[in-house]
Amino acid sequence: MTAGEVAEVFRVEAATVVKWLSDGHLPGFQIGPKRAWRLWRDEIREYLEANRNTGSRAGISPFA
């Protein structure tokens, strides 16, 4: 998945996903000469399942 696709899942901007990736809060890897971020769908699914009760619906980041 791209950072933009993950952003849609989390309902945030793609730049936010890139920051989470850069900070190590989300698992991902960079590819190509432009170092574009990619994430494995299964890892995002596992992350969501493991963090589903973090209060993020209340506007609290799961990475705070």
Q: What is the 3-state secondary structure (H, E, C) of the chain?
A: CEHHHHHHHHCCCHHHHHHHHHCCCCCCEEECCCCEEECCHHHHHHHHHHCCCCCHHHCCCCCC
Q: What's the domain count of the chain?
A: 1
Instruction: Indicate whether 13 belongs to any domain.
Output: yes
- Residue-averaged pLDDT of the chain: 84
Q: Is residue 59 part of a domain?
A: no
Length of the chain: 64
pTM of the model: 0.73
Instruction: Encode pLDDT of 16-38 as tens digits.
Output: 999 999 999 899 999 999 999 99
What confidence score (pLDDT) does residue 49 get?
A: 86
What are the angstrom distances between the C-alpha of 62 and each of 12, 20, 30, 48? Answer: 12, 10, 23, 10
Residue 52 tokens read as 């589903």
Q: Evaluate whether residue 42 is within a structural domain.
A: yes
Does some domain include residue 55?
Answer: no
In a domain, 10, yes or no: yes
